Structure formats: C-alpha cells, structure tokens
Amino acid sequence: MVQDVKIIPTCKEASELLSYAQDRPLTLREKFALYVHLPICNACRNFRKQLAFLRQAAREYARRD
Amino acid sequence: MPKPEAVAVSDTPESAPGPLDAARIEEYRGYLMRYALLQLRDRTAAEDAVQETLLAALQTGTRFAGRSSVKTWLTGILKHKIIDHLRRQLRELPLEGRPEQADAGEADVADAVFAEDGHWRDFPVDWNAPDRSFESGEFWKVFEMCVQVMSARPARVFVMREILELSTEEICKELGISATNCWVLLHRARLTLRECLDTKWFKT
C-alpha cells in the first residue's frame, strides 16, 4: 500500500495507484497524486495503457477458441 | 453461488441444434482443458474440473442454437467448477497469515522493477497498438507461458480477477484474504506479466 503519498509520488507509488484504480475507486488524495505525476512521466502513462491492455488481453483469452 | 446461465435457444432451425450428445461435447474438451489448466496450475485438478463440467453439461441435455453459445455455456459451468477447486485448494493452504508461503521472487517483484529512488529501472515504452497481437497464435502462447511462470499467489488472484472477471470483493470472500492483500497481489501480478510480455513479446 502507498502509506503516505508525497506531493509528487515516485513512479513506484504511481504504478501502485494505477493498478489499484483497476480494482477500487481511488481516494481524492490518490487521484491528486496521479494528477501531478502523470503529466510529467511518460513511462507511467505507458504503464497505464499497458495495464488496460493486460485486462483486455485476459478477457480476450477467456473468449477465444 | 449462482448457477451459470444457460443460453439455450430452442427456435433457430437453421443451426439444426439437436441435443447435446457426448460426441458433440467432447469437441470442447481441449479448449476447456487449456482454460482450466491455466487457472488451476495442476493437471489432475484441471482434468477433474473439465470432467465435472462435461458431465454436468450432459446431464442437463439442453438444446443449443450454435457453437458459440455452447462454448459460452460450458465455460460458465467450468468457471464455477474452477472456483470450487480453488476454494478447496486454498482451504488447505490459507493465503493470509503465512507469509513464509510466499514464493521466492513474489515479494521482490517491485524491487526488481523499481530502483531505490522509486524510478523505473527500465522505462515502460509504448507497445503501439498491442491488440493487433490478438490475431497471433504465438502471442497467446507467450501470454499463457507468462501467466504460468508467475508466482502462485499473484497468478491465482490475477486469473480470478481478469480471466474469471470476479470482483475483488468476491475474490476476498472466496480466498479469505483482505482487500488490501488482494490489491497488492494484483499489482504484483500485473507488474510481472507486463515485464514478461514486454521482454518475451513486444521487444522481440
């Protein structure tokens, strides 16, 4: 868990929040942390897209022949 | 536990449904076996789950319109059998309160991925329209391999969440773990799977 999110979280913390966002609503504080981190971090923006892809792939896997 | 919904259709003459007989149901054994094996990680358990599914399907004797609905219906039954098996397995091996059960490598995924200052060691790059990979049989082999090599606990929770599409509440209830533990395991699973697909597929 992210214990104490700093004003600008690290990539490690941001990646946790991006993952949690797939499973539960984020708190305001957590949303704000991403709001300040993502615009300055291309790597985490890519990670967010990849998380969405992992979910899409798993569902596709379940449906295919 | 809710019963899987039957998707029986009785009035579509063009698809000549006919009753589900053993031979017809057998066609799906391979698909069901792969599906079960990925999730149970144990051949005997997977065979049991598939066998139970096929028997349950035969006993109902429902008529079906087309192939895809039979498959959806069988997969629905299998999901419930898999969850039953997982629950039984996990009753024998509680997930929480026994940290020593964590596989080596499970806990330090984040340390492998992130440097001490919290930066990515290896920056995630754009995969560039990754869903084009869905058409490749090779991609799915890599995907299966990546899930199979994952540590047992994150893999199990990942499969329940993303392939069986259970909510985290349902997973917590089924496995008797806390929501926090569940979110952390999911995050580890995603980091591991991302890394594996990145190196074994997207960067090759």
DSSP A25-46: PPPHHHHHHHHHHGGG-HHHHH
Write out pLDDT tens, residues B163-198.
Answer: 888 899 988 888 888 999 999 999 999 999 999 999
Residues of A in contact with B75 (CB under 8 A): 62
The one-character DSSP state at B19 is B
The complex scores an ipTM of 0.90
Q: State the helix-helix crossing angle for B168-175 and B67-92, rounded to 10 degrees.
A: 50
- List CB contacts of B33: < 8 A, sequence separation 6 or more: B46, B47, B50
Q: CA geometry: angle at A47 spanning B140 and B134, to 5°?
A: 20
pLDDT at position B97 is 43
B123/A43 touch (CB, cutoff 8 Å), yes or no: yes
Write out pLDDT tens, residues B62-121.
Answer: 665 555 678 888 888 998 898 888 777 665 654 444 444 455 555 678 888 999 999 999
Residues of B in contact with A56 (CB under 8 A): 131
Residues of A in contact with B35 (CB under 8 A): 62
Residues of A with a Cβ under 8 Å from any B Cβ are 1, 9-13, 15-16, 19-20, 22-24, 42-44, 46-47, 49-51, 53-62, 64-65
Write out pLDDT tens, residues A33-43.
Answer: 999 999 999 99
Rounded to the nearest angstrom, the gap between the alpha carbon of residue B9 and the centroid of all alpha carbons in its chain is 27
pLDDT at position B98 is 44
B143 shares contact with chain A (CB less than 8 Å): yes
Q: Average model confidence (pLDDT) for chain A?
A: 90
- List CB contacts of B91: < 8 A, sequence separation 6 or more: none
pLDDT at position B109 is 86
How large is the average pLDDT for residues B12-41?
Answer: 74
How large is the average pLDDT for residues A2-13?
Answer: 75
